[in-house]
Amino acid sequence: MSQQIGTERGSTDALVQVRNLKTYYDEGGLFGGQPVRAVDGVTFNIQEGETLGLVGESGCGKSTLGRTLLQLEDATGGEILYDGEDITSYEQDELLSWRRNAQMVFQDPESSLNERMTVGEIVREPLDVHEWKTDGERRQRVQSLLETVGLQREHYYRYPHQFSGGQRQRISIARTLTLNPDFMVLDEPVSALDVSVQAEIINLLEELQAEFGLTYLFIAHDLSVVRHISDRVAVMYLGHIMEIGPTEELFADPSNPYTHALLSAIPLPDPGQERDRITLQGTPPNPRYPPNGCPFSTRCPARIRPSGYQDLDEGVWSQLNTVREVLRERQRADRTIRERIRGSLGWETRFGDMNDTITELFGEFEVPANVQEILDEVARRANENDEEAALTLLNDEFGSVCDGVDEDPEQSDSELQFYTVGSTDRKSYCHRHDSEYREPGPVIEDRSIKEHGE
Ligand code: ADP
Ligand code: MG
């Protein structure tokens, strides 16, 4: 692993170049609260003719990213260069004509087709919008496209309800092809289909790509589908790209602890095969309140420990993380007026006593005296409803570079700095890649996932 740090700028002749892109929802909303950071500073390229797979747990921002790339969603910050031009600065009419180049296929073939229009009307709508040639030529084009996607010319006069899920997805795909696009965002295009039909649609997409030289962003949570179709894969977590690189190497030898955890959730074809399973604890944090430091720090099995706690029991270490999450949860929970009154009268609030929570969390472990002492003080501060002070203490004592210790929150931008990893052009964000922290750990040391037959 080399030590090169940077962002995934790469070559500047890529068809799509995304630079520190952010898409926030509810910004400056009604309650003036924190925005939802759905996409929070991503940088990557998509080469012409390439398929970039985008994977990650539900809610990590995949659809938002795909929609923003097509400007169906406004970017909060950053740039999207398409053929070298920043489309985020386009006016409405420029955007309309640009959209001919770029189309989106959605997951749900049930709701994405207008039931009251014939297949012909649905597919030719983009031609009508762009006033392409004559009526007769439009019909000709649509009928030949229906054949291209494996349907028949006669289907022009039928209605969507007469078709199966797979056929409906073919209709959607035909519609996206009408204006000869170069780039397509495929947002879970086969997730709603039967497994047998999935393969047919995937094959169709591959054939169309070869025939028309299409460039794909392929979003999916089914990793085996992504592995099959993608040249490169980007792994997304909490609005960030954690690792990006050529598919085979990334699947066979993931570098990022999150990629590792995500891949170890795939069932192996042969149950006799061994894989050290990294189970992911808990759920991803709320994107309205992302953690400081590394986005994955709250669940990461490879989180760096500060000196003095290297030998702390794994269970205790992991529960300390849970205490922090409980405090973060308490901190932002909106207390009702009644609870505030009860609190001010010194009565117990709905959060209960933090001592009880801690006893429950650490009950089965042997907690060293010095750790217990800190936990008692953390509980005392939390019981006084000063979660902030409790969190500060917890972070001062147990935090590390992964938790953004030493990071100036005012200064830091949410764009992550990648390390170059592996033997091909692969990038990963993880402090474990830094030579200072690269001591052997269960996740970083043994990363190989044994292939069938190896
Ligand atoms: P994915 O496609 O990976 O499941 P999404 O891009 O749909 O993720 O969502 C990312 C985050 O943004 C989620 O927390 C989701 O709840 C939130 N989100 C998505 N759309 C909106 C919206 N229109 N308004 C507010 N929040 C949204
Ligand atoms: Mg989605």
Residues 167 and 192 both lie in one domain:
no
Residues 121 and 92 both lie in one domain:
no
- Residues near 157 by beta carbon (within 8 Å), at least 6 away in sequence: 118, 119, 120
**At 453, is the pLDDT very low, low, confident or very high (cuts 50, 70, 90)?**
very low
**At 30, is the pLDDT very low, low, confident or very high (cuts 50, 70, 90)?**
low
Which of 133-142, 349-358, 425-434: highest mean pLDDT?
Answer: 133-142
Q: Is 59 in the pocket of ligand 1 (CB under 6 A)?
A: yes
Q: Which amino acid is at 106?
A: F
Residues with CB under 5 A from ligand 2 (ion): 63
412 located within any domain = no
What's the pLDDT at 370? 96
**At 110, is the pLDDT very low, low, confident or very high (cuts 50, 70, 90)?**
confident
Checking DSSP bridges between strand 51-55 and strand 102-105, what pairing results, if any?
Answer: unpaired
CB 148 within 8 A of CB 126: no
Residues 228 and 320 both lie in one domain:
no
What does the pLDDT look like over 142-151, one tens digit per residue? 999 999 999 9
CA of 62 to the centre of ligand 1 (A): 8
Residues 163 and 25 both lie in one domain:
no
What does the pLDDT look like over 383-404, one tens digit per residue? 888 889 999 999 999 999 999 8
For ligand 1, atom 10: residue with the closest CA: 61
CATH number for position 438: 3.40.50.300
409 located within any domain = no
146 located within any domain = yes
What's the pLDDT at 440? 47
- Output DSSP code: residue 208: H
pLDDT (mean) for 280-297: 88
pLDDT (mean) for 416-433: 90
pLDDT (mean) for 66-70: 97
295 located within any domain = no
Q: Measured from the CA of 62, which atom of ligand 1 is nearest?
A: 3
106 located within any domain = no
255 located within any domain = yes
What is the full DSSP assignment across 13-33? --SEEEEEEEEEESTT-TT--
How many structural domains compose the chain? 3
Residues 386 and 439 both lie in one domain:
no
What's the pLDDT at 97? 87
Range of the domain at 191: 1-101+181-289+417-454
Kindly tell me the number of DSSP H helices and DSSP E strands found in the chain: 15, 13
For ligand 1, atom 14: residue with the closest CA: 59
Beta bridge partner(s), residue 85? 82
Residues 70 and 206 both lie in one domain:
yes
- Percent over 70 (pLDDT), the chain: 84
Q: How many CA atoms lie within 13 A of 345 on its CB side?
A: 9
What's the pLDDT at 325? 87
232 located within any domain = yes
Q: Which of 103, 55, 67 is nearest to 228 (CA)?
A: 55
What's the pLDDT at 268? 54
Q: Rounded to an integer, what distance in angstroms lies between the CA atom of residue 244 and that of residue 266?
A: 19
- Helix/strand/coil (H/E/C) assignment for every residue in 160-219: HHHCCHHHHHHHHHHHHHCCCCCEEEEECCCCCCCHHHHHHHHHHHHHHHHHHCCEEEEE
pLDDT (mean) for 173-193: 95
What does the pLDDT look like over 188-210, one tens digit per residue? 999 999 999 999 999 999 999 99
Residues 229 and 89 both lie in one domain:
yes
CB 53 within 8 A of CB 205: no
Residues 245 and 322 both lie in one domain:
no
For ligand 1, atom 16: residue with the closest CA: 59
- Give the ligand whose atoms come closest to the C-alpha of residue 67: 1
What's the pLDDT at 207? 97
Residue 177 predicted with pLDDT over 90:
yes
Site to substitute for ligand 1 among 21, 22, 25, most atoms within 8 A of C-beta: 25
For ligand 1, atom 18: residue with the closest CA: 38
Residues 14 and 74 both lie in one domain:
yes
pLDDT (mean) for 228-240: 97
351 located within any domain = yes
Q: How crowded is residue 390: how many other Cβ atoms within 10 Å of its Cβ?
A: 26
- Percent over 90 (pLDDT), the chain: 65
Q: Is 61 in the pocket of ligand 1 (CB under 6 A)?
A: yes
What's the pLDDT at 214? 97
**At 451, is the pLDDT very low, low, confident or very high (cuts 50, 70, 90)?**
very low
CB 420 within 8 A of CB 243: no
Residues 14 and 90 both lie in one domain:
yes
Checking DSSP bridges between strand 5-6 and strand 16-25, what pairing results, if any?
Answer: unpaired
pLDDT (mean) for 325-329: 86
Residues 431 and 338 both lie in one domain:
no
Domain boundary among 148, 173, 198: 173
Strand order in the sheet with 85-86: 36-46, 16-25, 77-82, 85-86
pLDDT (mean) for 55-71: 96
**At 162, is the pLDDT very low, low, confident or very high (cuts 50, 70, 90)?**
very high
Q: Rounded to an integer, what distance in angstroms lies between the CA atom of residue 378 and that of residue 380?
A: 5
Q: Is 63 in the pocket of ligand 1 (CB under 6 A)?
A: yes
Residues 2 and 89 both lie in one domain:
yes
Q: Which of 155, 156, 154, 152 is nearest to 138 (CA)?
A: 156
Q: And the tokens for 346? A: 């010194």
Domain boundary among 173, 189, 217: 173
Q: And the tokens for 24? A: 């926030």
Instruction: Indicate the SS3 state at residue 1.
Output: coil
CB 160 within 8 A of CB 121: no
For ligand 1, atom 5: residue with the closest CA: 61
Note the residue count of the chain. 454
